Homo-oligomer: A and B are copies of this chain.
C-alpha cells in the first residue's frame, strides 16, 4: 500500500511507459512522504472497447485510476485536495498531456488490516519505518518511535 490500479483502454501505453508510470508514482510517495519504495505497487489493467464503458459508451480515451491508501495518512480534506493536485500534475505526462481523459480516486482503508510478508507495517514516521525505507524491505520491528 498504496496500491494503484490503472484501468486503461488497450494499446495506449507501451510496456516501457507502464514502467515509467509506475516509477513516477513510486517516486511521488518516496520523495514526498518518505514511504519505503516497496510499499508502492501499481497494477495495469487493459480493457478492450467492449469491456470498459464510460457514460454507457465504449471508451478508448479514458483512464481510471483507483488507489487504496491507509486510513490515517491523510485525514484532512485540504491536504487531500493538495495531494490530488500534486498527483494530477506529476502524472500529466501519462494523462492530460496525451489528450486522454482521466479519473483518479483514492479510498482510505484501515491500518490494522494490513500486513507485508506477515509484518504489521510500522507506525508512520517511526524509526522502524525509516529503516524499512532505507533498506527497501520489511524487517522485524523494534517498536522504537
**Chain A interface residues (CB < 8 Å from chain B):** 1, 3, 7, 15, 18-19, 22-23, 25-27, 36-47, 50-59, 62, 64, 66-69, 74, 77, 80-81, 83-85, 87-88, 96, 101-110, 112-118, 120, 136
Contacts and interface: CB of A to CB of B under 8 A. Distances in A.
B51 A44 contact: yes
B19 A80 contact: no
B102 A116 contact: yes
Contact of A120 (B53, B74, B84, B106): B84
12 contacts: A3-B103, A23-B56, A41-B52, A41-B59, A42-B56, A55-B136, A85-B118, A105-B109, A105-B113, A106-B110, A106-B113, A107-B107
